[in-house]
Chains A and B, each alone.
Chain A
């Protein structure tokens, strides 16, 4: 097991941690904006994840996945951003939205 393999495993572990963090924010996030940001982070983590997997498997094709996702990941954030603006005031954090 060369140092690279350890690094890859380490990277996977850390990325999973990041995903876990994003997940908790999606669950707990008081306002929609928090959740959207968490999704954004998740997308970035995915790009990284497929990059690492490309390194591990030596298959260049996985970089296409990260390339495509990088290009498109922010789209969900924009859609939700517009939605938030259209919807007017976000309710105070305590009360969960009803929409």
Chain B
């Protein structure tokens, strides 16, 4: 909680000094090799977010203090909470693309921890996993986008990237960057196709939902879009996608929020609606649109966080979040009622509140949206109308409606749990009363950070009778009507949603299911548990790759003149060939073992004939040891299943793989031989084998001295192999005992 307080004070002091240009930058090299450095930059836009993060963080921390009193793992909560706050601050302040991405992933990780905080609930675990998967996948796409963007702009520093906007827009990677950045932003800010994880994330404890899922984390995507606005915006793709997706999300969020009966889920859906409107406005280039986005961002954070804390109070005190059950708590929880009422007023945008200013700007912005003014305005009106209705449901119903049967006899929440909502509500009112200060201090520099040319915005509470004002009046009336007949509305929407073929959640679950089944199928094919399949598949792959390489760049010249080879060498070759054939035809393992012994001896002979006594001895020793170990193993092996050997299909498959492998190896060796052995290495060893290592036997000198490091590796491998065999063999005895 202290961190939050300190952070808040620091940012507050900075408010005055910051206007678009002279941002504070701090840079320290982090990964010099990649040119990534620990750079932070505090400009208008990040100032708004930083204030938001620290301010809301302070109040929520205060609230959590009381909310978790006596909760066993309180410490763990504050650890993750602190981690998240730092990550979020880092995200908004980072001036380096990769650094920002690191903080981005940190927020995803900490949100996973926080959502799954009450890990004993299956629902919490499932939704935590879902949130992680969706935002994580988005993060991955964002990483690709960030890398592409970094390469296109040639630098990781965001400030420089903002300057090189035109270069990026013409760059051929522009579209992929756009898509990837959108993927990251949309998953994080729960936009239309990826919105389903946010309502599920309500399984998290209330302070988490209040802080993460209303004020800060989901705004991360919006921040990303705002930060990259000067670079990526300005093209039809950007404007169109944002507007369309934003509109759909807003309307969809509003519609479903009415349907929700659990107060927290209703709040979640209104957040989805708010995020939708924010993306909608980020689509436009007009300064007024951007200003509307920033103001609404601020307004939404204030009242949404307050409302969440109010619902937390209700849940904590009255024991339920069901709209139906709550009622008439005015007298029992006066302060909570008051703060809820203030926040709801700001949410529905009544004049004295900042909400009203936000709504006015929103309508002005909507009308100014380049692509489709009427679509944007329509969506905004509809969404806001439903917002007004929801404000009613959230604030009036539980406190002023008839007395409901709440599981626990409600009494007023302790003071720390009231401070948050009350302060935020009051702030909403205070900022509303002095628009110019808010405008000049916060909104203008933020917009300045996003738009290259100078910003001239008049902030006044009252603009006179203009189109937006009319729209506001329309919205309020619609809202009141919607509030009146909300039960009927709910039934209609219920029917409509029920009829929907696919829902976000359903498709998510289906996709995850497919992936799991696919993985299972693959492992069943590969891991059949039979040594034969492993060997066959590995040899087949080797043969295939080698053949492909050989064929692709032409067969090497093969000189097949074997004239100079004396007869006894041919004899040995014949022996080996015959030995191999016997192994193949062997009916029993014993014959196969003996024939293998024969082949081993033949190979040793070749080593002898080609002047390699050392290797010959080693080959013979190994040959004998192998036969010995086989001799020990044979009595323990089960019968030599004839079926295994005679299955026509198996033998054919094995035969083809083996011959293919042999052919490829032969061509390879012949190719190497015909090229002529490079004597240079041997010359080197011959030269300094004696002086360097005082040894005439070059083979051993190499083994032990020159390339001792490899032998070290082999030795360790040998020891480990011995241990593994021992573990496999000796283990059953101990188990049985």
A interface residues, Cβ below 8 angstroms from B: 9, 12-13, 16, 19-20, 22-23, 26-27, 32, 35-36, 38-39, 42-43, 46, 49-50, 53, 57, 59, 61-62, 64-65, 68-69, 72-73, 75-76, 79-80, 82-83, 86-87, 96-99
B581 → chain A closest CB, angstroms: 9
Could you tell me the distance between the alpha carbons of A24 and B700 in the complex, rounded to whole angstroms?
38
Is A68's CB under 8 angstroms from B621's CB?
yes
Interface string of B379-398 (1 = CB under 8 A from A): 00000000000000000000
Q: Which of A42, A62, A73, A98 contacts B608 (CB 8 A)?
A: A62
B69-77, B200-208, B582-590: which lies at the interface = B582-590
Could you tell me the distance between the alpha carbons of A62 and B604 in the complex, rounded to whole angstroms?
12
| 10 contacting pairs across A/B (C-beta < 8 A) | A23-B575, A23-B578, A26-B594, A32-B594, A57-B611, A69-B620, A75-B624, A80-B631, A99-B588, A99-B590
Whether B601 is near chain A, meaning CB under 8 Å from some CB there, is: yes
A52 nearest CB neighbor, chain B only? B568
Is A82's CB under 8 angstroms from B631's CB?
yes
Is B588's CB under 8 angstroms from A13's CB?
no
A97 nearest CB neighbor, chain B only? B588
Could you tell me the distance between the alpha carbons of A64 and B627 in the complex, rounded to whole angstroms?
22
Q: Which of B604, B605, B635 contacts A86 (CB 8 A)?
A: B635
B580 → chain A closest CB, angstroms: 12
Could you tell me the distance between the alpha carbons of A13 and B601 in the complex, rounded to whole angstroms?
17
Is A72's CB under 8 angstroms from B567's CB?
no
Is A59's CB under 8 angstroms from B631's CB?
no
Is B591's CB under 8 angstroms from A35's CB?
yes
Q: Which of B590, B601, B616, B617 contacts A42 (CB 8 A)?
A: B601
Q: Which of A13, A39, A49, A99 contacts B605 (CB 8 A)?
A: A49
A43 nearest CB neighbor, chain B only? B601
Q: Which of B582, B590, B613, B624 contacts A65 (CB 8 A)?
A: B613
Q: A53-B609, A98-B639 are in contact. Are A79 and B631 (CB under 8 A)?
A: yes
Whether B597 is near chain A, meaning CB under 8 Å from some CB there, is: yes
A98 → chain B closest CB, angstroms: 6
B interface residues, Cβ below 8 angstroms from A: 567-568, 571, 575, 578-579, 582, 587-591, 594-595, 597-598, 601, 604-605, 608-609, 611, 613-614, 616-617, 620-621, 624, 627-628, 631-632, 634-635, 639-640, 642
Going nearest first, the 9 A-B pairs with the smallest beta carbon separation are A79-B631, A12-B568, A16-B571, A61-B613, A35-B594, A79-B628, A76-B627, A65-B616, A50-B608
Could you tell me the distance between the alpha carbons of A27 and B597 in the complex, rounded to whole angstroms?
12
B578 → chain A closest CB, angstroms: 6
B620 nearest CB neighbor, chain A only? A69
Is A65's CB under 8 angstroms from B608's CB?
yes
Could you tell me the distance between the alpha carbons of A46 and B598 in the complex, rounded to whole angstroms?
11
Is B627's CB under 8 angstroms from A96's CB?
no
Is A83's CB under 8 angstroms from B631's CB?
yes
Is B595's CB under 8 angstroms from A26's CB?
yes
- Cβ contacts under 8 Å, B590 to chain A: 32, 35, 97, 99
Is A26's CB under 8 angstroms from B608's CB?
no
- Cβ contacts under 8 Å, A65 to chain B: 604, 608, 613, 616-617, 620
B618 nearest CB neighbor, chain A only? A68
A13 → chain B closest CB, angstroms: 7
A26 → chain B closest CB, angstroms: 5
Could you tell me the distance between the alpha carbons of A12 and B566 in the complex, rounded to whole angstroms?
11
Could you tell me the distance between the alpha carbons of A75 and B624 in the complex, rounded to whole angstroms?
7
A89 → chain B closest CB, angstroms: 14
- Cβ contacts under 8 Å, B628 to chain A: 75-76, 79
Most chain A CB within a 10 A radius of its CB, from B568, B587, B591, B621: B568
Extra inter-chain contacts (5) besides given A53-B608, A98-B642, CB under 8 Å: A38-B594, A65-B608, A68-B617, A76-B627, A76-B631
B280 → chain A closest CB, angstroms: 79
Q: A26-B598, A42-B601, A75-B624 are in contact. Are A99 and B617 (CB under 8 A)?
A: no
A83 nearest CB neighbor, chain B only? B631
Is B620's CB under 8 angstroms from A76's CB?
no
Could you tell me the distance between the alpha carbons of A76 and B624 in the complex, rounded to whole angstroms?
6
Q: Which of A16, A27, A98 contacts B568 (CB 8 A)?
A: A16
Is B588's CB under 8 angstroms from A96's CB?
yes
Could you tell me the distance between the alpha carbons of A36 and B634 in the complex, rounded to whole angstroms?
15
Q: A72-B624, A75-B624 are in contact. Are A26 and B591 (CB under 8 A)?
A: yes
Is A13's CB under 8 angstroms from B567's CB?
yes
Could you tell me the distance between the alpha carbons of A82 and B598 in the complex, rounded to whole angstroms?
20
A26 nearest CB neighbor, chain B only? B594
Could you tell me the distance between the alpha carbons of A97 and B594 in the complex, rounded to whole angstroms?
14
Is A98's CB under 8 angstroms from B588's CB?
yes
Is B632's CB under 8 angstroms from A79's CB?
yes
B630 nearest CB neighbor, chain A only? A79
- Cβ contacts under 8 Å, A69 to chain B: 617, 620
Q: A19-B571, A35-B594 are in contact. Are A99 and B640 (CB under 8 A)?
A: yes
- Cβ contacts under 8 Å, A98 to chain B: 588, 639-640, 642
B175 → chain A closest CB, angstroms: 68
Could you tell me the distance between the alpha carbons of A23 and B597 in the complex, rounded to whole angstroms?
11
Q: A38-B594, A99-B640 are in contact. Are A27 and B587 (CB under 8 A)?
A: no
Q: Which of B567, B588, B594, B642 contacts A39 (CB 8 A)?
A: B594
- Cβ contacts under 8 Å, A39 to chain B: 594, 597-598
Could you tell me the distance between the alpha carbons of A76 and B591 in the complex, rounded to whole angstroms?
14
Could you tell me the distance between the alpha carbons of A49 and B601 in the complex, rounded to whole angstroms?
11
A66 → chain B closest CB, angstroms: 9
- Cβ contacts under 8 Å, A64 to chain B: 613, 617
B607 nearest CB neighbor, chain A only? A65
- Cβ contacts under 8 Å, B605 to chain A: 46, 49
Q: A49-B605, A65-B620, A79-B631 are in contact. Are A23 and B588 (CB under 8 A)?
A: no
A84 → chain B closest CB, angstroms: 10
A72 nearest CB neighbor, chain B only? B624
- Cβ contacts under 8 Å, B597 to chain A: 39, 42, 76
- Cβ contacts under 8 Å, A46 to chain B: 601, 604-605, 620
A11 nearest CB neighbor, chain B only? B568
A64 → chain B closest CB, angstroms: 6
Is A13's CB under 8 angstroms from B631's CB?
no
- Cβ contacts under 8 Å, B601 to chain A: 42-43, 46
Could you tell me the distance between the alpha carbons of A76 and B630 in the complex, rounded to whole angstroms?
10
A80 → chain B closest CB, angstroms: 6
B330 → chain A closest CB, angstroms: 91
B608 nearest CB neighbor, chain A only? A50
- Cβ contacts under 8 Å, A59 to chain B: 611, 613
- Cβ contacts under 8 Å, B611 to chain A: 57, 59
B27 → chain A closest CB, angstroms: 67
Q: Which of A23, A36, A68 contacts B620 (CB 8 A)?
A: A68
Could you tell me the distance between the alpha carbons of A65 and B594 in the complex, rounded to whole angstroms?
21
- Cβ contacts under 8 Å, A87 to chain B: 635
- Cβ contacts under 8 Å, B609 to chain A: 53
- Cβ contacts under 8 Å, B575 to chain A: 16, 19-20, 23
- Cβ contacts under 8 Å, B635 to chain A: 83, 86-87
- Cβ contacts under 8 Å, A61 to chain B: 613-614
Is B631's CB under 8 angstroms from A99's CB?
no
A22 → chain B closest CB, angstroms: 8
Could you tell me the distance between the alpha carbons of A51 and B250 in the complex, rounded to whole angstroms?
92
A71 → chain B closest CB, angstroms: 10
B610 → chain A closest CB, angstroms: 10
- Cβ contacts under 8 Å, B568 to chain A: 9, 12-13, 16
Could you tell me the distance between the alpha carbons of A43 and B620 in the complex, rounded to whole angstroms?
10
Q: Which of A12, A23, A43, A62 contacts B579 (CB 8 A)?
A: A23
A61 nearest CB neighbor, chain B only? B613
Could you tell me the distance between the alpha carbons of A35 and B77 in the complex, rounded to whole angstroms?
75
